[in-house]
Amino acid sequence: MFKKFFIPRMIQYFTVLFIGITLVFVIPRLLPSDPVSTQLHRMTSQGQYLDPAAVEEMRETLQELYGLKGGMLQQYFSYWKRLFTGDLGPSFTQFPTPVIALIRMSLPWTLGLLLASLSLSWMIGTVLGGIKVSFPNSPFSKATELLAMGIRPIPYYIMALVLLILFAFLFPVFPMAGGYSVGSKVGFNARFIKDLLRHSFLPILSMVVLEIGGWFLQMRNVASNLVEEDYVVYAEASGLPKSKIVFSYIMRNAIVPQITGFGLNLGFVFGGALITEMVFSYPGMGTLLYSAIIAGDYNLIMGINIFSIVGVSTAMLIIDLLYPLLDPRVRYQ
C-alpha cells in the first residue's frame, strides 16, 4: 500500500520541483540582458567615474552575488548548493538584505490574501453551484448563473480598480493602499487586527467576486451530471428529503473535483494576487516582484519564483495524499 501510493507521488513531487527550479535557473540566463552589465551601466550613467580596475573588481563581486561566476555547469551546481543551504543571495536593490529575509517579510501577506480569497470563493461558489443544479428553475438560481457568467471574464485589475474607485475614492469607506495604517503599532491586538482587516477587505473582495463565478460554473457542470445517476434517482424515489439528497448525494460526490481544482487554482490565484497587490500597493510578494523586475534584481526574481513553485507543488501533493480520505472510491493502491 505504501509503495504503490505514497512513493510514486513523492517521486512525481520531487521531479516537478527539480524541473521547475531548473527552469528558474535556465530561463533568466537565456535572456539577452546581463544583470551585472546592467548594474554597472546604471552606475556609470549617473556620472560616477570608476577606475577600470575597480570596475573589474566590482564585476567579479556582482557575479559572485548573482551566482554568475564561472561556466554554466559551475553556476548550476553553485545554484543548488545555495538553495540547500537556504542562501538565495542578497538583494541588489536593498543590499545587503538577503533575498530570503525579504521573502519572509512579504510571504505572509500574500498567503493571507490568497488563502482567504480562495477559501471564501471556493465555499460560496461550490454551495451556489449545488443549489443551481438542485433548484434549476428558481429565480435565485437563474440570477446567480447570470451574474456568474457576466462577472467571470472581467480581468483582476479591472475589478480591483472598480472597487478602489467606488469604496476608497468616491465613498471613502476603506483605505486606498497599504497593508495597515502608517504609524500603527504592529502586534496581535484588536486595534491592529481591525486595521489589518480594513486594508485587506478590498483586495480580498476583488478576488473573491471574480473567483466565485469559476467555482459556481465548475460545480454546476459536475453536479448536473450526477442528478441523473441511479443512486440519486433511487434516493428521490425512496422519498428522502430534498436537502439530504442535495448535500449527501449530489454535492458530496461533486465536491471531489472541486477539491482538485482548489489545489490547481493556487497557481492561477497567485498570479491574480500579484496583480491585485500592485493595484492596492499591498506589501506582499506581488509588490516585491514588481519592484524586483523594474530594478532588475536578479536574485530576488529567482527567489520569488522558486517559492511559488514549491508552494503550489506542495499544495497539490497534500491534496493528492488526502484524496482517499475524501473519496471512498479512491484507494491506496
Domain CATH code at residue 265: 1.10.3720.10
DSSP-derived letter for residue 238 is T
CA end-to-end distance (rounded Å), the chain? 6
Q: Which residue has the higher pLDDT, 14 or 52?
A: 14
DSSP-derived letter for residue 98 is B
Q: Which residue has the higher pLDDT, 168 or 323?
A: 168
d(CA 199, CA 330) in angstroms, rounded, equals 42
Q: Which residue has the higher pLDDT, 99 or 333?
A: 99
For the four alpha carbons of 77, 83, 84 and 85, in that order, the dihedral sign comes to: positive
Contact (Cβ atoms closer than 8 angstroms) between residue 304 and residue 103: yes
User: Tens of pLDDT along 81-136?
Assistant: 888 887 777 777 777 778 888 888 888 888 888 888 888 888 888 888 877 777 77
Q: Which three cell numbers stand for residue 302?
A: 529567482
Residue 241: strand, helix, or coil: coil
Query: Is residue 169 in some structural domain?
Result: yes
Percent above pLDDT 90 for the chain:
0
For residues 117 and 77, membership in a common domain is answered with no
- Which of 64-73, 82-91, 261-270 has the highest mean predicted lDDT (pLDDT)? 82-91
Query: Is residue 54 in some structural domain?
Result: yes
Q: Which amino acid is at 321?
A: L
For residues 305 and 238, membership in a common domain is answered with yes
**480591483: which residue's cell?**
160
Give the helix/strand (H/E) hosting 276. helix 251-280
What is the average pLDDT across 312-333?
A: 69
pLDDT at residue 244 is higher than 80? no
**pLDDT reported for residue 272:** 61
Query: Is residue 98 in some structural domain?
Result: no
The alpha carbon of residue 25 and the mean position of all alpha carbons in its chain are separated, in whole angstroms, by 21
Query: Is residue 292 in some structural domain?
Result: yes
Q: Which three cell numbers stand for residue 317?
A: 501533493
**pLDDT reported for residue 45:** 66
Residue 299: strand, helix, or coil: helix
For residues 126 and 10, membership in a common domain is answered with no
For residues 76 and 111, membership in a common domain is answered with no
Query: Is residue 94 in some structural domain?
Result: no
User: Tens of pLDDT along 171-205?
Assistant: 888 887 777 777 667 667 777 788 788 888 888 88
For residues 124 and 177, membership in a common domain is answered with yes
d(CA 321, CA 324) in angstroms, rounded, equals 7
For residues 112 and 43, membership in a common domain is answered with no
Q: Which three cell numbers stand for residue 319?
A: 491534496
**pLDDT reported for residue 33:** 66
Q: What backbone torsions phi and psi does residue 88 show, to the nearest 5 degrees?
A: -100, 10
For residues 119 and 69, membership in a common domain is answered with no
For residues 224 and 147, membership in a common domain is answered with yes
Query: Is residue 95 in some structural domain?
Result: no
For residues 25 and 67, membership in a common domain is answered with yes
d(CA 42, CA 187) in angstroms, rounded, equals 40
Lowest mean pLDDT among 112-121, 148-157, 256-265: 256-265
Contact (Cβ atoms closer than 8 angstroms) between residue 160 and residue 276: yes
Q: What is the DSSP string of 8-73?
A: HHHHHHHHHHHHHHHHHHHHHHHSS--HHHHHHHHHHTTT----HHHHHHHHHHHHHHHT--S-HH
**Mean pLDDT estimate for the chain:** 77
Closest CA to 174 of 151, 206, 152, 147: 206
For residues 59 and 154, membership in a common domain is answered with no
DSSP-derived letter for residue 90 is B
For residues 62 and 113, membership in a common domain is answered with no
For residues 213 and 175, membership in a common domain is answered with yes
**pLDDT reported for residue 305:** 83
Q: Structural domain of residue 196, as residue ranges?
A: 105-326
**pLDDT reported for residue 330:** 57
Query: Which one of 19, 51, 84 terminates a domain?
Result: 84
Q: Count structural domains, the chain.
A: 2
Q: Which amino acid is at 129?
A: G
Query: Is residue 280 in some structural domain?
Result: yes
Q: pLDDT confidence of 269, banded at 50, 70, 90? A: low
**pLDDT reported for residue 310:** 83
Q: 281 to each of 274, 287, 289, how far by Cα in Å? A: 10, 7, 12
Query: Is residue 97 in some structural domain?
Result: no
